[in-house]
């Protein structure tokens, strides 16, 4: 399912600060690449911030403004945001220098080392490479970082996001001439169909013991 | 009827004026802090903001001690990082909210080598003119008008107070499935003002 409400819920979750570390990074990248999503996040931030003006205030008892100044006395006062800021490469370095793990011909993965309930990875598909038809036991979030992929639902380009659940069966193929790099979160294992399906399902079953 | 409408417009105008004046006063204080390290201005800002931030953490179910501790961290960050605040693009209350929210994320964060602030993309988006709190005001007003009181309350409980769907269902005495579907439909309803 690819409804706007699901995407809005994810961005609202980001604004509210209740996402897992993996999803938080995922949405950061989404806002970085997609200006419509960035605008939505800013609308949500402002709506949530407005609540601060309508709260029943509770004054702190033990702290005062002097404590706040003293607590920060050793800090540098000149902060700058780098022009080349990118939330993903900020964490893992340049995508060109990653130690990709080959899963099968034309398909590579890189696991991003973040703790918490969801796992997040980068997927790199060479031009024309496909993933066998599959669906998901939980939700799968895909964000195109570079290039594009096509499936039964259309073409997804840099900055586009797809959310899939158990109702969706899809068969993505890297359709850009340079292939496709995606950031993905899979909440639970995927279920494969077709000729190779049972072998791949067995593989994910065995893999689950080593998580 | 006309009288009622007139009353509504006057009240709305008063509220908007109050918010604009409040934002201007806050920006004036922050500018004094940023340029002159003005402790008196900071003390005034503390009196305005600390009880709100503290109440926000309490609403998010933190203990009084934790709330105070995080409130101090937020105000310290504001004191040191005022140079990152851009009054042309950002409203002060929104900027302060994102700092408070980041501190709350860090409280539960398991990957300790980076903070939520390191990953917060908003400063980057403000600085590169990709977002502007003042340009979206019209969309926000339309959303507020579109959503009824119950829908606004649901959004507040779920996303500002971070109550679980289960907790919301208990407090409002409605089934869990209804909470989920109402939040979904509220988010759907907002969609036409979001793109």
Tell me if A55 and B55 make a contact (CB, 8 A cut-off): yes
**Going residue by residue through chain A (211 aa), what tens digit of pLDDT does each one get?**
447 888 999 999 999 999 999 999 999 999 999 999 999 999 999 999 999 988 899 999 999 999 999 887 766 666 666 777 899 998 899 999 999 999 999 999 999 988 877 889 999 999 999 887 777 777 889 999 999 999 988 999 999 999 988 777 788 999 999 999 999 998 866 666 666 666 666 666 566 555 4
Which residue from B22, B159, B194 is facing A48, i.e. has the nearest CB?
A: B159
Residue B77: which of B110, B124, B45 has the closest Cα?
B45
Which residue from A16, A46, A78 is facing B133, i.e. has the nearest CB?
A: A46
A9 vs B86: CA distance, rounded Å: 28
Instruction: Output the domain CATH number for residue A126.
Output: 2.60.120.10
Q: Which fold has domain B2-127?
A: Rna Polymerase Sigma Factor; Chain: A (1.10.1740)
pLDDT of residue B145: 92
Tell me if A24 and B116 make a contact (CB, 8 A cut-off): yes
Residue B89 C-alpha, separation from nearest chain A C-alpha, in angstroms:
11
For residue A122, the cross-strand partners are A110, A183
Residue A39 sits at φ, ψ, to 5 deg, of -65, -40
Partners of A71 on chain B (C-beta within 8 Å) are: 72-73, 76
Tell me if A63 and B156 make a contact (CB, 8 A cut-off): no
A48 vs A50: CA distance, rounded Å: 5
With respect to residue A14, please indicate whether it lies within any of the assigned structural domains. Answer: no
**What CA–CA distances, in Å, run from A54 to A22, B47, B51?**
32, 16, 12
* Residue B172 burial class via C-beta count within 10 angstroms: exposed 0-12, middle 13-18, buried 19 and up: middle
**Three-class secondary structure of residue A156 per DSSP:** strand
Residue A39 C-alpha, separation from nearest chain B C-alpha, in angstroms:
6
Locate the chain A residue with the closest alpha carbon to B163: A18
pLDDT of residue A203: 66
Sign of the Cα pseudo-torsion (B153, B155, B158, B162, in order) = negative
With respect to residue A132, please indicate whether it lies within any of the assigned structural domains. Answer: yes
pLDDT of residue B61: 93
Tell me if B162 and A17 make a contact (CB, 8 A cut-off): yes
Name the region of B109 (left: φ>0; alpha: ψ -120 to 50; beta: rest). Answer: beta
pLDDT of residue A205: 59
Residue B96: which of B59, B133, B64 has the closest Cα?
B133
Partners of B114 on chain A (C-beta within 8 Å) are: 91
Locate the chain A residue with the closest alpha carbon to B71: A60
Partners of A87 on chain B (C-beta within 8 Å) are: 119, 121
Which residue from A4, A16, A90 is facing B160, i.e. has the nearest CB?
A: A16
Angle at A86 between CA A85 and CA A92, to 5 degrees: 120
Greatest Cα pair distance, chain B, in angstroms, is 60
Partners of B30 on chain A (C-beta within 8 Å) are: none
Give the contacts of A15 (CB within 8 A, at least 6 positions apart): A41, A44, A45, A48, B101, B159
- Structure tokens given for A58: 């509770």
Range of the domain at A142: 94-210
With respect to residue A77, please indicate whether it lies within any of the assigned structural domains. Answer: no
Angle at B74 between CA B69 and CA B79, to 5 degrees: 125
Q: What is the mean pLDDT of each run of 10 residues along chain B (195 residues)?
A: 73 67 89 93 96 96 95 94 90 95 90 77 86 92 93 94 95 95 91 82
Q: Which pTM was predicted? A: 0.86
> In chain B, what are the domain boundaries?
2-127, 137-193
pLDDT of residue B73: 94
Tell me if A85 and B131 make a contact (CB, 8 A cut-off): no
Q: Specify whether domain B137-193 bears CATH 3.30.420.40.
A: no
With respect to residue A120, please indicate whether it lies within any of the assigned structural domains. Answer: yes
pLDDT of residue A51: 93
With respect to residue A53, please indicate whether it lies within any of the assigned structural domains. Answer: no
CB contacts < 8 A, A to B, total 201
Domain total in chain A: 1
Q: Are A116 and A132 in contact (CB under 8 A)?
A: no
Partners of A69 on chain B (C-beta within 8 Å) are: 39, 42, 76, 79
**What CA–CA distances, in Å, run from A130 to A94, A127, A139, A151?**
25, 9, 20, 9
Partners of A16 on chain B (C-beta within 8 Å) are: 101, 158-160, 162
With respect to residue A33, please indicate whether it lies within any of the assigned structural domains. Answer: no
């Amino acid at each position: 399912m690819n409804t706007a409400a699901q995407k809005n819920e994810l961005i609202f979750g980001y604004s509210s600060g209740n996402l897992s570390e993996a999803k938080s990074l995922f949405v950061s990248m989404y806002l970085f690449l997609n200006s419509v999503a960035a605008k939505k996040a800013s609308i949500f931030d402002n709506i949530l911030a407005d609540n601060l003006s309508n709260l029943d205030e509770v004054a702190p008892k033990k702290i005062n403004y002097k404590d706040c100044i003293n607590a920060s006395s050793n800090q540098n006062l000149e902060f700058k945001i780098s022009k080349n800021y990118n939330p993903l490469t900020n964490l893992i370095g340049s995508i060109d220098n990653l130690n990709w793990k080959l899963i099968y011909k034309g398909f590579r993965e890189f696991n991003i080392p973040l703790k918490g309930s969801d796992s997040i990875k980068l997927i790199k598909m060479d031009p024309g490479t496909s993933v066998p038809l599959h669906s998901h036991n939980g939700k799968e979030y895909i964000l195109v970082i570079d290039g594009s992929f096509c499936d039964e639902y259309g073409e997804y380009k840099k900055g586009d996001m797809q959310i899939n659940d158990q109702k969706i069966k899809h068969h993505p193929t890297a359709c850009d001439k340079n292939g496709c790099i995606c950031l993905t979160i899979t909440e639970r294992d995927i279920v494969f169909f077709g000729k190779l399906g049972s072998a791949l399902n067995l593989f994910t079953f065995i893999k689950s013991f080593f998580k | 009827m006309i009288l009622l409408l007139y009353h509504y417009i006057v009240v709305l105008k008063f509220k908007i004026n109050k918010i604009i004046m409040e934002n201007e006063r806050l920006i004036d204080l922050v500018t004094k802090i940023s340029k002159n390290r003005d402790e008196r201005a900071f003390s005034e800002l503390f009196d305005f903001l600390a009880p709100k931030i503290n109440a926000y953490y309490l609403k998010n179910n933190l203990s009084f001690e934790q709330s105070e501790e995080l409130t101090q961290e937020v105000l310290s960050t504001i004191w040191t990082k005022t140079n990152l605040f851009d009054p042309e693009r950002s409203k002060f209350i929104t900027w302060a909210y994102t700092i408070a929210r980041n501190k709350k994320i860090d409280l539960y964060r398991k990957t300790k080598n980076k903070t939520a602030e390191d990953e917060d993309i908003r400063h980057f988006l403000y600085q590169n003119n990709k977002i502007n709190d003042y340009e979206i005001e019209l969309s926000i007003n339309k959303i507020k008008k579109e959503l009824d009181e119950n829908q606004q309350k649901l959004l507040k409980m779920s996303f500002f107070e971070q109550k679980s769907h289960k907790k919301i269902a208990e407090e409002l005495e409605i089934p869990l499935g209804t909470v989920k579907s109402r939040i979904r439909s509220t988010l759907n309803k907002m969609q036409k003002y979001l793109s």
